[in-house]
Amino acid sequence: MRSLAAASLMVAATAAAVVAVGARATSAPGPPPPNFLVILVDDQAENTFKPKWMPETYRWIVHPGTKFTNGLAAPPLCCPDRAGILTGQYPHNSGVFSNDPGYASLNGKHDTLPIWLKRAGYETGFVGKFLNLYSNVAGDAPAPGFDDWFGFIEPPGYYQYTVSDNGTPRFFGDSRSDYSTDVLTRHAKQFVANSATGSEPFFLWLAYHAPHDTQLAPSLGHCGRSSPLPANDPTYEKYRHVPLPEPPNFNEADVSDKPSFIAFKPFLQGQFIVHLQTRYRCTLAVMHEVDKEVGKLMVALKRKGELANTIVFYLSDNGFFFGEHRVTRGKSLPYDEALRVPYAVRVPRAYQLKRPPHADSDLVTNEDVAATILDYAGEAPSCAGPNVCRTLDGRSLRPLLGGGGGKFPAHRGVLSEINTSGLAYSAIRTPDSMFAQYADGERELYDLRTDPFEMQNIAGTPEAAGLQRKLAARLRALRRCSGIRGRDPKRPGAPFCE
């Protein structure tokens, strides 16, 4: 293990919680080093993450774990979010601000989470959808650091897609057995089975394609030609009569205070709302299959004797709009519908010093995944060379998961920054507010204590002037931030992240 002077992050690991990474057989006190399973879904909004829709996920992960009610995708866009998981960094440090060029813009491609864990003695695996446009850069080759690679060769899909199986392309067709959610789970189960026979702990990142693509304006009565479900799939029938959620900001009556790209959106009516209803039901049907497969994977972990040693994350790479603020599809915007995502972590008893809460309202992000894993593994990021180390911007969630390790900041501010075609902004989300600055000079500010649905933009108003100044100053610092005070060395010219 590297010293603090030689590495950018060193997290103290208590002897009661973890032991040095190595063989499972050890005479040292405490449990063996934990396995890590990260389950990532694509475009799942909070409004589809409920026990009645996903009973297996709640049974195996949420109920015995901790659900973070303020879990954020920062920023709420596929590739930057995944880069945050891979590196523990915000886009201004990872280099990934958009889906295009995506992976090509990632800084330090050989200085990432799987490489750090592999060097620490972990067996590493990836299954599913990686960073956008990865195959444009690397073709069929596995990404650096992964011992086992079963990744989509773009474009990903539910049927008619190609996967790189450790560098060998495999095509999947139109049969029910080719449905990608099931195929990915089968490979994940095989990885677990193979790992259970070895002496090393494992890290597995399972990234489903679901429920992506349900935004493609579905036809009436079924999920449409481009849908992840065929028109006659019986699963859709189960959800045919589920009503579309209509929170107070659904089809918002007055959007004149919003930025121009929202302010000119028409009021939704007629077929637009029918399409939203169908798309919502299609999403539930798609996640029904994911839920079943998550249950199967968790059963496999238990049968192999690995469940008691495995820390499990479940999260989405961003939320999705279903008519809130008159936005009919997509993500990316800093509103809570896109920014706040399903986020749950299950930590086995052996790695707890005390029982964690079943629900936690602290602000946590995708960037926190890497820091949390390294904390439990007792490892620090590796360095690419002398004094060239990746400094993580995320925090370990261990204090929130019953593992000790100090306090978590109650008034944390989380950065969201995107620079993609047609949209560029930076925003800060705190427990009480959201403030965004767009490249064209427009601003948004919401007091979430009195306006949780972000319906009244108070940016520029006299009564909010003081709050706006404070948030603008915090945002300026976050846009340049690097690392966490008290954990990381200070980088010249960069403030610490919150």
Q: How far apart are CA 109 and CA 278, in angstroms?
A: 40
The CATH-assigned architecture of domain 35-412 is: 3-Layer(aba) Sandwich (3.40)
- pTM assigned to the model: 0.92
Residue 378, helix vs strand vs coil? coil
What is the predicted pLDDT for the residue at 176? 84
Residue 329 phi, psi dihedral angles, 5° rounding: -160, 170
Q: So where are the chain's domains? A: 35-412
E-assigned strands of 317-470?
343-346, 359-360, 364-365, 383-385, 388-389, 414-420, 423-429, 433-438, 443-447
What is the predicted pLDDT for the residue at 470? 98
What is the predicted pLDDT for the residue at 174? 86
What is the predicted pLDDT for the residue at 26? 38
Query: Which residues in the chain come in under a pLDDT of 70?
Result: 1-29, 214-233, 382-388
What is the predicted pLDDT for the residue at 6? 31
Q: How far apart are CA 298 and CA 348, in angstroms?
A: 13
> For residue 471, which amino acid is it?
L
Count of beta carbons in the 10 Å neighbourhood of residue 314: 27
Task: Supply the DSSP symbol for 110.
Answer: T
